[in-house]
Each structure stands twice: as structure tokens, then as C-alpha cells.
Amino acid sequence: MALSMDEERILTEIASRLSQDDPRLAERLESFGRLRSRSRRDRVIAVLIVVIVGVVAVCGAVVAVLLS
């Protein structure tokens, strides 16, 4: 659900005031979103690695059965 223009204006104003009042907190909150997206990307990469390892294991088992 998208924010209305008024809601966006209010959030921008709050962010601006926060940056003026407590720059360290504003910086930490900004980096929080970036850290979260990195961890999501890391989870996707981990899942892909698990799937690839699983496919290789199944292929290895099939080859072993066919050669025996």
C-alpha cells in the first residue's frame, strides 16, 4: 500500500528533524535497512548453495547406482 503525499511529507519532515536532533541515531537507523537487505541476499545465496549441493549429491548417487 503506497503512502499518500501528505504521509510522505510528514515522514520526510520527521527524518529531517531526527537527523538534526540526533545524527548518530539517524545514521544507525539508515544503515539498519541496508543491513537487513544484505542478510536477505545472504539467505538467498545460502539457499541456492544448498540446492546446488543437493542436486550434485543426487546426481552422484544416480551415477554410483548406474555404475554398480
Domain map (residue ranges) of the chain: 5-67
Whole-structure pTM value? 0.46
pLDDT of residue 38: 65
pLDDT of residue 62: 94
User: How high is the mean pLDDT in each 10-residue block of the chain (68 residues)?
Assistant: 86 88 85 68 88 94 92
Question: Taking the mean position of all CA atoms in its chain, how far away is CA 62?
Answer: 35
pLDDT of residue 30: 79
AA identity, residue 39: S
pLDDT of residue 33: 65
pLDDT of residue 36: 60
pLDDT of residue 35: 58
